[in-house]
Amino acid sequence: MSPATLFDKLWDRHLVTTNDEGLDLIHIDRSLLTDLSGTIGLEEMEQDDSAVACPGLHAAMPDHVIPTGSEDTPQQAKLRARFVVNLDRLSKQTGIRHFARGSGRQGIVHVVGLEQGFTLPGTTLVCGDSHTSTHGAVGALAWGIGSTEVKHVLATQTLWMKRPKRARVWLDGTLQRGVFSKDLILWLIGRLGADYGREHAVEFTGPVIEALSVEARASVCNLGVEMGARFALIAPDDTTFRYLAGRTYAPEPALWEAALEDWRRLKTDPGAQFDKEIYLDASEVTPQITWGISPEQVTNLGGAVPLSGADDGALDYMGLAPGQSLEGLPVDYVFIGSCANSRIEDLRLVADIVRGKRVAERVTAWVVPGSEAVKRAAEDEGLAKIFLAAGFQWREPGCSMCNAVNGDLVAPGKRAVSTSNRNFVGRQGPNARTHLASPATAAACALAGEIRLSQE
């Protein structure tokens, strides 16, 4: 057999048939259902009186619209009745596992899927959310789909897909002290552009990737979609296997060795061909922060807006000028959370930086854990007490301020440093100005009350 890429191995083992139009029918092993697209898909199934083909292959949980604070506005109550309650009802009605708040397993789908071992190497996984590429961190073929496709998967456990091209990003070197995976992926998006991965499945590999934890790899794959890639992949290795061992939905001990034998074959063969590939030295990466309204509008340590070629619309929206330094720019909000950076590893890093210090008086600062498991671990380790003593709000798990649909908003015209994955116009609220950064940089900005690019 010819040498194959990791992507081709995963695609081919799930290929059912190809139609006359050249579309492939792909078997879907698992799906995750959010309280937005998942609820809509299940409602459509109910309206059509359609049966869920394989209930045991799905997991549902509220994350997008569920509030993370103690407040309960009329809008939040309306959203909860429309989406959260319905997701619970329809999950029970169809026999789909449902992780409700208080179950100990609720959280953001892209955090829970990995930490519960629901996402496994070699599987296909879909969700009605664009950042499903996160799950490629463990060698799964995972991608975001629309609500119509959610319904199709529920009914048939398959999807018709056009086979994408293949790209590889090889990262040599060693990350500098104080540089993290979020800095790495923002640097890549800034260097390669938001369209680099369009129509491609992108595999991230090389010594820098191999040195990352699974949680750090998840951040890289999460923002893979922000460089245009629908699929982001990292080959599973011993780091992956140690992470998955003993998790709730990982293979039981009697099947573990057989699973490992299969998973070890999930890597790109020497000599396999990519449609495009690039080799970069990641040793030059420094802390990154965005200045504009796309993740590719990013700058590094020293932080300045480009002198020329900057998008005028982005500058106007963000209230910035060509050549302006970001260092010292006053910050109103700091949000540490989202499916990009709300895992226990992220929170430990933030706690190390803010321990014994105080958030600047002008800043509203939140830490929102990615799941109930993360929240419980942070409280058991004493991290929550550190956050509270420093002046952060410690909130319930959910997407929160990342998507501005649940009442967790940045006030109009205010400036936020956020560990989330998108800085689009209005992403964190009407006229909110968002700067994306790593948890370390966000923590440093919260303490200073202004933009500081941390190297701690």
Return the CATH number at 128. 3.30.499.10
> Is the pLDDT score of 117 beyond 60?
yes
> Is the pLDDT score of 290 beyond 70?
yes
> Is the pLDDT score of 210 beyond 70?
yes
Give 107-161 as a DSSP string. Answer: B-HHHHHHHTT-S-TT-EEEESSGGGGGGGGGT-EEEE--HHHHHHHHHHSEEEE
Strands (E), 342-447: 364-367, 393-394, 415-418, 433-436
Structurally, the chain folds into a number of domains equal to 3
Both 428 and 372 in one domain: the answer is yes
Q: Convert the pLDDT of each residue in 229-288 to its tens digit.
A: 999 999 999 999 999 999 999 999 999 999 999 999 999 999 999 999 999 999 999 999
> Is the pLDDT score of 213 beyond 70?
yes
Mean pLDDT (the chain, rounded): 96
C-alpha pair distances (Å), 400 with each of 66, 108, 403: 8, 10, 7
Both 63 and 203 in one domain: the answer is no
Helix 383-390 and helix 344-354: axis angle, to 10°? 50
> Is the pLDDT score of 302 beyond 80?
no
Q: Rounded CA gap, 239 and 218, in Å?
A: 13
Q: Convert the pLDDT of each residue in 407-437 to its tens digit.
A: 899 999 999 999 999 999 999 999 999 999 9
> Is the pLDDT score of 90 beyond 60?
yes
Burial class (CB in 10 A: 0-12, 13-18, 19+), 420: buried
Q: What is the pLDDT of residue 376?
A: 98
In a domain, 29, yes or no: yes
Range(s) of the domain holding residue 181 = 165-242+259-268+275-284
Would strands 58-60 and 30-33 be described as parallel, antiparallel, or unpaired? parallel
Q: Rounded CA gap, 374 and 422, in Å?
A: 22
Percent of the chain with pLDDT over 70: 99
Query: Binning pLDDT at 50, 70 and 90, where does residue 454 land?
Result: low
Both 44 and 132 in one domain: the answer is yes
Both 129 and 37 in one domain: the answer is yes
Q: What is the pLDDT of residue 75?
A: 82
The mean pLDDT of 32-47, rounded to a whole number, is: 97
pTM, entire model: 0.97
State both tokens at 275: 């449609």
Both 423 and 377 in one domain: the answer is yes
> Is the pLDDT score of 97 beyond 90?
yes
Bigger pLDDT: 148 vs 404: 148
Both 74 and 127 in one domain: the answer is yes
Q: What is the pLDDT of residue 426?
A: 96
Both 154 and 195 in one domain: the answer is no
Both 154 and 208 in one domain: the answer is no
Q: E strand or H helix at 218, and its extent?
A: helix 214-222
